[in-house]
Amino acid sequence: MPIVQEPPEKMTFQLSLRRRGISDQAVLRAMEAIPRDVFVEPADRAYAWRDSALGIACGQTISQPFVVAYMTEQLQLQKHHRVLEIGTGSGYQAAILSRLCGHVLSIERYRTLADSARARLEKLGCNNVEVLLGDGFDIPAGAGNFDRIMVTAAMELVPEALTQRLEPGGILIAPVGPHQGTQTLIRLTRTEAGLERKALVDVRFVPALPGIAREL
């Protein structure tokens, strides 16, 4: 039987993240444990371990590993946390989160993406992730509040309806800025005095759109 040679990028995956400043050991372990190649399109599996975004179904993308690790690290997750993710996409970010917190509710507007992500997550045993077909701008009232919120698509403004879902001391991470062009990753922390805002790094994400997609 021939020996399957792993891509060089996979062998240097963790080193690349460390070199770019990711230092949280729990985040690094989660990134190592979740196979990114499961979450990309079959034609892109040879490129799965490169530090670059890749296209997926419905015109969406799977973020580059550094951005996934960086956003996750900025959430300062603890095992008891309940996390809301807006934009399931392939399910890769939700899988990383599942290793670091108690429960993840991930909302996706495209049925195709929601169904395929749900299947991948179940296959990997990410049993603390719930994938919901829905509108990320209109969270179901019964969903309650969250310790952490991560938005994985560009918002021109973070709606108050979303920040109101943060528990005291809660953290929200979102790319904020124009849909076409560069956004800034923003971290909002709910304090006793209100929302504390910090700009982090410039990023590029696909737009966050309201409603459930009529097709796909």
- Catalytic residue numbers read 63
Secondary structure string (H, E, C) spanning 7-67: CHHHHCHHHHHHHCCCCCHHHHHHHHHCCHHHCCCHHHHHHCCCCCCEECHHHCEECCHHH
* Helix, strand, coil percent values for the chain (each to nearest 5): 30, 25, 40
User: 133 and 113 in contact (C-beta within 8 Å)?
Assistant: no
Residues facing 186 on adjacent strands: 174, 199
- Which ranges of the chain does DSSP label H, i.e. alpha helix? 8-11, 13-19, 25-33, 65-74, 92-98, 111-123, 160-163
Nearest to 84 by CA among 132, 17, 26, 146: 146
Dist CA 17 CA 85 (whole Å): 22
Q: CA 107 to CA 130: how far, in whole Å?
A: 8
